[in-house]
A and B are shown apart, each in its own frame.
Chain A
């Protein structure tokens, strides 16, 4: 493109944008809130990094997700720490419903690109939560963090029948952005990625729609793409003791990982579902495989959705709930009492070259210790869960999610201090 063409295109664009921004920018300034009467998709105060834990874990699960994993491209520890500070600032702003940068999408020098990309103008905060995590590879030798790596922060092993795509797995850093409006979640990831250019590069990202878990007793249990309720027995925000026991890393858990106290481990698995094959299973088989009714989500041993399953209750040919059913295999009572906080989302990434839905569950789960809470569980599910016949794990990652911040701090400060 030569100079004159460039100028004319810019003029054209500027004219168009000016007209568009004219209405939208009224009263916007650096904030994108349209006004107090803007209908909010999410009740409650905005999320914040400030506090004992990061948001997006016990926050009531929003409806939409954009999750991104990053690789660090710089060799400078200072640059990395500076990025985390900038991400913290931008994240706080966006969670409040403001623009990513202090100037905003439609202000600032006319000859400079705006410091916010603009697609969230006029949208409410939509319950946005941003959660930042560190992959095992971040704590290799590059940034002098190796000696601070907790023993549990290692790459997840190969589980039976894994079919992992390296381009959808692992990463030095992750950002989970959840909101009730997909554009708000995408806006968050897009702007954080933009802030990160030169320091980090996006390794992979995943969109999710339709939460597949409840993280609060106030929420209805949603359905996964198999059509069943999912996450009935999840650890919920209201269970303070259970969170302390199963989700938050404790002060004495790992001497090298003291910086992670109050944080949590995040397991991310992209689990493709064999949708078309599943749809051809009889209702009898579907309910046998899951161990719950499709209608109510009640365990096959009877009662309602929140009735505890009775795995011993006999039927005609053995227990009413099949011993290899998903509900039994994943239940805390068959996993040494371990519980995890699931926060997954349905995904559909279009269709495959065979015309099948490229769809499934983007499994996100928070836990205190993946070595005892996830590794044995997934090994067992892969081998023994009836449901595994209809699943294929195509992506995998583990991250350590540091605690929340003090006023004026930044996410991960305890690690970089």
Chain B
């Protein structure tokens, strides 16, 4: 589980009507451009918006925006119609400096500083002159992004439905004392959670109730959810463990099922943006790195590799959905990530056992290291994904 939900990074609720171009909004970056003509400094004051240049050659432009006023400001690069947003940086506090990096083809544009974040802002014309740098056309990408978002939404909804269906069977077996069936269903059910883990754990109220590990608790906090039941089903590593009573089992099981239903209802209403999907893929690999490859997630059952594979599945779905967009913007990055996914999958396939996986304790230290190295190798280019899809 995640311990803290980043409110600012949650998937957007009910934002289906949001203009897809909004995800093309520029990203902030600290990359310095070598080409000085493509770096424009912007002084956003209380009642003035002063640019160091009014034109730049087509390509990747960097607007270094310094807020010299006393109010929070924003900076926009708009299309010639003064409406469509090509790129923006928001939330620049007084005295702070932030970069807007944006790809712009030749043509006429409008710049706007918006001190106080209201009104139409202090506007001026800006010209991008032709150059030999090719710039992808945002208009074509809007369709790709919209499709990626719809596909990801469908994937999450489907996984959530399967999670609910299997959880229903799992808790029934557990309550009935059919431990063999429950143990068999445990990893098979959890894979649906793990595939959409970054979405599921964005609900800060449900995640600690459903997915907390024992060490995550504070003194006196009640332990519920998957891992509480896991310990009861696999108490071998807990010397002196007292099995839960039938009544205790029922309470735990019913709570988990109720929470799963709540989760399922909530994900119905979620929509996503390209950067959230990209961040989600990166986040799932982080889950692998911090919990699964170290064998901490499924401490009692040792079924970590099921979760490992499920996290990778989810990350792959997010990446594949964005692939056409990535190939337009940075095909080399797409190829690298694809190769690294394949290499990691090869290592995971070597650990398959029937329709599941070897338990974590069957892995040699060398195998764990190799898996960890492959996760690092994939995670590094994957962490570049968000900046590429929003560029």
Contact = CB atoms under 8 A, between A and B. Distances in A.
A355 to B, nearest CB: 7
A396 interface: no
Contacts of A301: 93-94
Nearest to B381: A280
B379 A280 contact: yes
Contacts of B217: 160
B286 A303 contact: no
Contact of A284 (B28, B96, B218, B382): B28
B97 to A, nearest CB: 7
Interface residues of B, number: 47
B269 interface: no
Select the residue from B27, B67, B93, B221 with max chain A CB neighbours within 10 A.
Answer: B93
Interface stretch (B4-12, B187-195, B326-334): B4-12
Given A283-B29, A354-B293, A313 B365 contact: no
A50 B8 CA distance: 52
Nearest to A392: B290
B162 interface: no
B376 interface: yes
Contacts of A323: 7
B160 to A, nearest CB: 23
B205 to A, nearest CB: 13
B386 interface: yes
Nearest to B285: A280
B117 interface: yes
A38 to B, nearest CB: 42
Contacts of B293: 354
A157 B74 CA distance: 45
A230 to B, nearest CB: 19
Given A274-B290, A316-B90, A389-B4, 19 more contacts: A160-B216, A277-B286, A281-B383, A282-B383, A284-B28, A288-B8, A300-B91, A300-B93, A301-B93, A302-B96, A303-B93, A313-B72, A314-B72, A317-B8, A324-B4, A324-B6, A354-B372, A382-B3, A384-B4
Contacts of B130: none
Interface in A359-386: 379, 382-386
Contacts of A416: none
A315 B94 CA distance: 12
A95 interface: no
B56 to A, nearest CB: 23
Interface in B248-292: 282, 286, 289-290
11 contacts: A161-B215, A162-B215, A276-B376, A280-B382, A283-B30, A284-B28, A289-B6, A302-B96, A303-B95, A313-B72, A355-B376
Contact of B9 (A285, A379, A385): A285
Given A158-B219, A280-B383, A389 B3 contact: yes
Contacts of B29: 283
A204 interface: no
Contacts of B294: 354
Nearest to A378: B218
Interface in B1-34: 2-9, 27-30
Interface string B361-391: 0000100110011001001101100110000
A304 B93 CA distance: 10
Contacts of A283: 28-30
Interface stretch (A21-29, A69-77, A256-264, A291-299): A291-299
A298 to B, nearest CB: 6
Contacts of B216: 160-161
B7 A322 contact: yes
B383 A385 contact: no
A163 interface: yes
B369 A355 contact: yes
Contact of A302 (B72, B219, B368): B72
Given A299-B93, A315-B90, A277 B290 contact: yes
A2 interface: no
Contact of B96 (A277, A298, A384): A298
Contacts of A327: none
Contacts of A158: 218-219
A320 interface: yes
Nearest to B380: A280
A324 B2 CA distance: 14
B220 to A, nearest CB: 10
Given A282-B387, A313-B93, A353-B365, A318 B215 contact: no
Nearest to B384: A280
Nearest to B9: A285
A296 B212 CA distance: 37
A307 interface: yes
Given A317-B8, A389-B4, A307 B369 contact: no
B72 A293 contact: no
B7 A383 contact: no
A161 to B, nearest CB: 5
A316 B376 contact: no
A388 interface: yes
A354 B4 CA distance: 25
Nearest to B93: A302
Contacts of B376: 276, 355
Nearest to A293: B96
A159 interface: yes
Query: Looking at A159, A274, A283, which has the most chain B CB atoms within 10 Å of its CB?
Result: A283
A304 B95 contact: yes
Contacts of A277: 286, 289-290, 379
Contact of A386 (B6, B117, B282): B6
A288 B28 CA distance: 12
B369 A276 contact: no
A280 B286 contact: yes
A163 B6 contact: no
Given A163-B215, A295-B97, A316-B91, A353 B369 contact: yes
Contacts of B369: 353-355
Contact of A160 (B3, B9, B93): B3
Contacts of A318: 7-8
B327 to A, nearest CB: 22
B95 A160 contact: no
Interface string B95-127: 111000000000000000000010000000000
